[in-house]
Structure 1
Amino acid sequence: MTIVDASVVDQQIHALIAQGRLEEAEAIVRPLLASGSGPIPLWRLLAQLSRQQGRLAETRAVQEMLVEAVPGDLSGRFDLAETLLLMGEFERGWREYHYRYSLSHTTRIERKVQRPRWDGRPMPGRPLLIHDEQGYGDTFQFIRMVAWAKERSQAHVILEINRESLSLAERCKGADELIVRGTLPPAFDVHCEMMSLPMVMGLKLDDLPGTIPYLSPSPTRVAKWRRRLAKLPRPLVCLVWAGRPAHHNDANRSMTLADLAPLAMPGVTFLAVQKGPKAAEAKTPPAGMTLLALDDEIDDFEDTAAILSIADLLISVDSSPVHLAGALGRPVWVLLPFIPDWRWLMDRADTPWYPQTRLFRQSARGDWPGTLARMANELAALRDKIR
């Protein structure tokens, strides 16, 4: 096969993937690789196709072959990392996850820090800079490890964090100093990205979840929202149906409010805590759904945390409020696509990260109706228990 032929096949396969015709795409790719050799781009496509169909062992084998063949391909190493972590293979998974930088979608978050990375050893009294780096949900999920790093290092820990999470971080253990991302930090000897802490500290599944909750709401905001929601009949169920549109997998994880129509039932009061472009959908809820739209009243994550602390449940797609609720120790039901983000692992209805969280997974690609039908049955049972 010539390079030109591979390019043509690549375009054809991507067109089929975009239409969700994975089996047809694989039927074209697999014969071209039957000899055990072939262009690297086709092997990458095969790994992508097998992963999207849930064949992770096969995906891992192909990705490991690609990493061995092209060790300098950082995107290939990142793909392998996500597969390993999804399979619960944390030891190597965290090491490969270090290659998450310098990719097209991570260039903007990479920092060139002119200090060595902390290696996990004690450094009593010396300044250690830990900095967040990715989305809000990542910060809420991994900020628990700052206290663990403090305990192991015995360092003077400086935590650099996004402005939106700063006040929540002020009530979280571990940091001796807090600074806002983008400001000049005080002098430090070593640093560590927040999501490199698992690699440096050798995080294992058995280490999770640690102390829950590790975030807490503002008492002032809780009092405000308790007054605001006091007259609403319970159960109070918060809803988030879409994540950040720019997320690379948003098409698979996000929904519309109309998709949640199966959850509409008498005796449940829903609170829309959805933010962003999809928040406007709360103005026209599905028939039979009692829904209070709170988007215009929610100024920041402090408001969201307070609402989650009062409500009986959060139902959400994979989004930052899921991690906020989990870190607060609040009940969460998460709607997950057939192949979820790596942090949710596979084939389980719970998660080691958050004890009060239940996972409702698609049993087949795109099967939100079946997933929501199962959730609706559980919600009716919860309603009858609370009322």
Structure 2
Amino acid sequence: MNGATWQSDLLLAQQSFDQNRIDEALAIATTVQAAHPACAEALEIIGLVQSRRHQVDEAVKTLEHALRIRCDLIPAHYYLGLLYQSRGEPERAVQVFERALLLDPGHDRIRFSRALSLLKLARFDEGWIEYEWRWKAAAVPRPEIPLPRWDGSSLEGRSILIHTEQGFGDTFQFIRFLPRLQQLGATVWLAAQKPLSRLLRDIQGVDHWMPVDQPAPIAFDLYSPLLSLPALLQLHHPERFRVATPYLYAEPDRVEKWRGRIESLSGLKIGIGWQGSPTFKGDVWRSIPLSCFAALTNVDNVTLVSLQKHDGLNQLAENDTAFPLVRYDDLDADGAFLDTIAVFQHLDLVVTSDTALAHLAGGAGVPVWCLISTACDWRWMTQASDTVWYDSMRLFRQQKLGEWEPVIADVVSELQRLGPRK
């Protein structure tokens, strides 16, 4: 293999990877690396393929090897930082991202990824500022609003539109800050996801509501993205995130509608959710196979109730005979989460993966155990079993990426000591 050939092969391997033909990219890069063991670029492509295949430990070793040979491989730095994030090592991720930013200070995806690690480390004074790179990194779609964006200046006598920007869980979590805007003298408009209109129509801190994805007349002075509020409000200490719960409420008649159906169930009544949206980039790590929840039925006198909607329902048939699970086909039939939050009121506990269900339960102030991966989102930070976000929530943390059985075993152990909710 002469010089011109292997260099052109490397280019072809990179193109194949960029076009998601990862088998082809790996085959070409492996051939080049076998002929040229010290070729850092070939090792980089192999490491990127391993990362894409979720071979985390192998990818870390390969990319570290590539960077020992050549320290200026920016994709290797970027992917290595992401891998450290997945393994629950945000300090190392920050170090890698910062080395990469010495080479390319304006690399938007690295700046945004660094922000996530800073936030996970509770370095909020830096993290909130860097989190604004989410727009340039194209991690979040940015609406066009022909008005000034709020810069933190006085809101006295002014009206402000706050628009949601990410998933339902983010909306449930961050609407807690809207009353603070009213306290600063603002009239608050909320542009939120249309499916949440009935659930959010009476929340505190909102004067007017509109769907985020539909045109509407401009009747406000300023706007701000919802997840930019902590930076604008200068919330640099986690304790300042804490608010009284509940701040999300079920419709009273709906609570009564579900009373008899849930209270007729025997024993400790536990609602479960296992699957997030598969379109979310990190869903491979946060969602939990339904089969893992079978161990909860080993606890005496437990009834499991499915709270899962849409994604993940295919697993019900696969586990239909494995363990008993109560299902309600009419759950939320006439509005997103309307029945779910009412059912919460009659359950002893909610046990769920890290999805909107966890945030809904936390915002509703009901007991919820959230099972989180080492690759968990920044908001759960790094070690504690409690969280400033929700007083009624307990976190069960994975110790090794991808291994849910020990987490479920911890849940089972705790359930042995838990009695029915009073």
TM-score (norm 2): 0.85
Q: Is the 8 A contact 2:178 2:204 kept in 1?
A: yes
2:40 and 2:195 map into 1 onto residues whose CA distance is 46
Per-residue deviation at 1:112?
Answer: 2.2
2:121 to 84, 87, 109: 87
Q: In the alignment, which residue of structure 1 is the partner of 2:186?
A: 155
Shift of 1:19: 4.5
Where do 1:165-180 residues align within 5 Å? Answer: 165-180=196-211
Corresponding residue number in structure 2 for 1:226:
259
Q: Deviations over 1:159-192 (max 9, x none)?
A: 1111122222222111111112223143221100
- CA shift for structure 1 position 284: 5.7
The answer as to whether partners of 1:78 and 1:96 remain within 8 angstroms in 2 is yes
* 2:63 corresponds to: 29
Return the match for 1:263 from 281, 285, 296.
296
1:291 to 322, 325, 330: 325
What amino acid maps onto 2:220 in structure 1? F
Alpha-carbon distance between aligned partners in 2 of 1:115 and 1:373, rounded to the nearest angstrom = 52
Gaps of 5+ in 2: 1-5, 12-38
1:356 aligns with: 392
- Give 5+ residue unaligned stretches, structure 1: none
Matched, 1:320 2:325: no
**In terms of mean alpha carbon deviation, does 12-21 or 181-190 score higher?**
12-21
1:180 to 1:28, Cα distance in 2 relative to 1, 3 A: closer
Partners of 1:208 and 1:48 lie apart in 2 by: 26
Distance 1:369 1:102, change over 3 A: same
The letter for the 2-side match of 1:327 is: G
Q: Kindly indicate whether residue 166 of structure 2 is the aligned counterpart of residue 134 of structure 1.
A: yes
Q: Residue 278 of structure 1: SS of its match in structure 2?
A: coil
Task: Give the structure with higher Rg (CA).
Answer: 2
Task: Give, in whole Å, the separation in 2 of the partners of 1:282 and 1:32.
Answer: 44
Number of the residue aligned with 1:378: 414
Structure 2 CA distance for aligned equivalents of residues 175 and 227 of structure 1: 33
Residue by residue over 1:308-342, the C-alpha shift from the partner in whole angstroms, topping out at 9 and shown as x without a partner, is 12211110000101000100111111111122111
Is structure 2 residue 292 aligned with structure 1 residue 241? no
Q: Which moved more, 1:206-215 or 1:2-11?
A: 2-11
Farther-moved stretch of structure 1 (10-19 vs 29-38): 29-38
Aligned residue pairs total 383
RMSD over aligned Cα atoms: 2.2
CA–CA separation in structure 2 for the residues paired with 1:261 and 1:117: 49
Q: Secondary structure at the match of 1:264?
A: helix
| Matched residue SS, 1:171 | coil
**Structure 2 residue 48 is matched with structure 1 residue 14:** yes
- The aligned residue for residue 247 of structure 2 is 214
Corresponding residue for residue 18 of structure 2? none
SS of 1:195's equivalent in the other structure is helix
Give, in whole Å, the separation in 1 of the partners of 2:394 and 2:409.
15
Bigger shift: residues 317-326 or 266-275: 266-275
Aligned-pair CA distance for 1:363: 1.2
Aligned equivalents of 1:36, 1:209: Cα separation in 2: 45
Distance 2:40 2:65 in 1: 13
Whether contact under 8 Å (2:44, 2:66) holds in the other structure is: no
SS of match in other structure, 1:143: helix
**Cα shift readout 1:11-45 (whole Å, capped 9, x = no counterpart):** 31123234544333333322332377322122223
Q: CA deviation at 1:145?
A: 0.6
2:72 to 22, 27, 38: 38
1:48 correspondence with 2:82: yes
Measure the CA separation in 1 of the matches of 2:408 and 2:374.
Answer: 13
* 1:144 corresponds to which of 176, 179, 193: 176
